Amino acid sequence: MGGDFGPRVTVPAAVQALSYFPELKVILIGDRNAITSQLSSLGRQPDSRLSIQHCDRVISNSEKPSLALRNSQGSSMREAIDLVAESQADACVSGGNTGALMALSR
């Protein structure tokens, strides 16, 4: 979970989205400990609508898209895009490197 503020912002946003959309299911992809910590601070834990997929690698905001494309294996962004490609998710929302997201999505 990259982006400027990582799980500190994305986890509360995901939890808020779940409260607005009762049919929504969210898969948070990134460092399980960081995500779990943020969920705990919100009084939440994974359930049937909110799951965590652990990933160690994050593509930084400063990483060039061409480099991200070559080194994306195991990154949270690659995992999210793969879930969509495999029809295990309907969409991917990222607060990370937009250029890398576009390159990986092709």
Read off φ and ψ for residue 63, nearest 5 degrees: -70, 135
pLDDT of residue 3: 58
Domain ranges of the chain: 7-101
User: In order along the chain (106 residues), what is the average pLDDT of each group of 10 residues?
Assistant: 73 96 97 96 96 92 89 90 96 91 90
* Amino acid at position 24, single letter: L
* pLDDT score at 75: 92
Report the amino acid identity of residue 93. Answer: V
Which pLDDT belongs to residue 1? 55
Q: So what's the pLDDT on residue 37?
A: 96
